[in-house]
Structure 1
Amino acid sequence: MSFSLITLPAPHADMAFASISLCEPVLCHERRAAGPVLELALSSPGCSGPAPVLRLARSQPLPPSPPPSRATRRLLRRPLVLLASVPRPLVLFFAGAASGAIAKTLTAPLDRVKILLQVKGGLQTGSLGAAARAGSLLRSLVELGRAEGVAGYWKGNLPQVLRVVPHSAAQLLSYDVYKRALADEEGRLSVWKRLAAGAAAGMTATLLTYPLDTLRFRIAVDPSATGLVSTCRALLREGSGGAFYRGLGASLLGIAPYMALELATYDLLPQQLPSFARGLGAALVATVSCYPLDTVRRHVQMSAAGHVAWGAAAAELWGTEGLLGFYRGFVPSALKNLPNKGIKLSVFDKAKRLMALAQEARLEEEQERALDEAGVEKRAGILGFCKKIE
């Protein structure tokens, strides 16, 4: 006779099973299943004698877990409450800065090629300059790698990141500020007010960061530019401090409608769409509409002494290349801008939602604290009344 104890899962109840092996085969007959104990009679055709009875105790269901205590809830809310204590403009500033820097770094190779195509190679010579003048995107990408190596794809990215961090932060933060200033008492904004807020935000960010954009552009198109310091010195020799603001007028004329369309379109697209998809759609509308102004701005920046006005540059471009000349480099620009803007606007939107959750958590904690203080005062009042009675 052998005995063995095993534990098996039950199909309909949580219970422990004990198995006793007397003879083979063993037949199991249920005798009583009412209550917490299940009795099973074990018998074997090859054995004589009374059938042993196996009693199995049903395990009781686990009690439901108690709700988290107030202290636990406060601990879980603590990160959001701490975030709510940070000024809203500061949170939005860092959210815009981080999203802009990541997006620009990931799309830097396409940005470099886009600039070369816009200015037909700029000061580049050899096969790279020929590919850019021919307007070939793939060939320009290949020749850029051959001429300058992998690092050439990110040439000029440092001033670009230095520019885009304050530019993206100032742009998105100022857009939020302008919208709040233009909204009515109920917080509503018309389409025209959204467009005005976007245009003002774009011009504000451009005025603050334009010298860095000029540096980034010169490093990207000038093969003799080796770094920030040497490029700064070259620009100062060309036209003193004014060289850093060459083409500013064309930039403001280009950025105002671009940002107005991009930011307003992002707000007006259906909220049910993912924020990344809304960012892509908004960037597409703005890029198609405003790309010619950006091309004119690049041609003004290319002039050595800065004497070419944006109107004259546009007329020359129209006379030599027609409408297609204004859209040189559009494909790499679109490939760069669409995911760039999608990432930036999506991250910024999520930061604003996180701020809203943080404000709710802080309000909930303040309400609980007020109730606790009211309870303390009530208990103190009762104790004082009892002492008076005594």
Structure 2
Amino acid sequence: MAAKDGATAFMMDFALGGFSGAVAKTLTAPIERIKLVVQTQDANPKIRSGEVPRYKGIVDCGTRIYKEQGMKRFWDGNFTNCIRYFPTQAFNLAFKDTFKKMFPKYNPKTQFAQFFGANLVSGGLAAAGSLCIVYPLDYARPRLASDVGSGKKTFTGLGDCMKKTAAGPGG
């Protein structure tokens, strides 16, 4: 019965952690969008061609996104960011436990250096493993969020972004 309680607790923690992370990411999405647009403006073809003027800073960017694109566009890329959160956390937890089993159990009070090293290595390997799996979402998120201009968007969504990116250079 204890194993079932442990699995239930894990699933509850996972679900609540994922939900709270998605809420936090949704609340901060406008700030993230403005940051990404300002950071990536030099690579944006619409800005490079002069079709869309450069952003002078974060206030100018936020004001122009609102005026030119509407309030909804502050959340461009947020869905991708939220769905990226769940598998990242799941794989980090699953992989860390898997990698941690490869090391002997160290006592943190008497063998702190070994305990710390094993945790550091297993955590790093877990993060690297999960990044290999969720990298396409990490790649798509800034491309979706930095799509600017009052006209037609470059990508209609996550699937379209991945399809166009796989089809050729720059989407």
TM-score of the pair, normalised by structure 2: 0.71
Paired residue secondary structure (1:86): helix
The residue number in structure 2 matching 1:144 is 65
The residue number in structure 2 matching 1:285 is none
Greater percentage in helix: 2
The residue number in structure 2 matching 1:224 is 154
* Structure 1 alignment gaps of length 5 or more: 1-80, 240-303, 306-390
Aligned match of 2:85 in 151, 164, 187?
A: 164
Matched, 1:118 2:39: yes
| Distance in 1 separating the partners of 2:89 and 2:82 | 10
- 192 and 213 in structure 1: CA distance in 2 versus 1, 3 angstrom threshold: same
The residue number in structure 2 matching 1:101 is 22
Matched positions, count:
158
TM-score of the pair, normalised by structure 1: 0.35
Mapping of 1:1-390 within 5 angstroms? 84=5, 86=7, 89-123=10-44, 124-125=46-47, 129-131=53-55, 134=56, 136-175=57-96, 177-179=98-100, 181-182=102-103, 184-186=105-107, 189-190=112-113, 191-222=116-147, 223-238=153-168, 304=170
In the alignment, is the contact (CA less than 8 A) between 2:106 and 2:112 conserved in 1? no
| Distance in 2 separating the partners of 1:152 and 1:95 | 27
Q: Say which structure, 1 or 2, has more relative contact order (CA 8 Å, 6+ apart).
A: 2
Per mean C-alpha deviation after superposition, the further-off stretch among 193-202 and 85-94 is 85-94
Greater percentage in strand: 1
- Percent of aligned pairs with the same amino acid: 25
Residue by residue over 1:41-94, the C-alpha shift from the partner in whole angstroms, topping out at 9 and shown as x without a partner, is xxxxxxxxxxxxxxxxxxxxxxxxxxxxxxxxxxxxxxxx89725356544533
Letter in 2 for 1:171: N
Paired residue secondary structure (1:153): helix
Letter in 2 for 1:130: R
Letter in 2 for 1:201: A
Deviation at 1:198, TM superposition (A): 2.9
| Distance in 1 separating the partners of 2:88 and 2:126 | 10
In the alignment, is the contact (CA less than 8 A) between 1:89 and 1:173 conserved in 2? no
In the alignment, is the contact (CA less than 8 A) between 2:92 and 2:130 conserved in 1? yes
- 82 and 200 in structure 1: CA distance in 2 versus 1, 3 angstrom threshold: closer
Deviation at 1:228, TM superposition (A): 2.7
Q: Based on CA coordinates, which of the two structures has the bigger radius of gyration?
A: 1
RMSD: 3.2
Deviation at 1:176, TM superposition (A): 5.0
| Distance in 2 separating the partners of 1:143 and 1:128 | 11
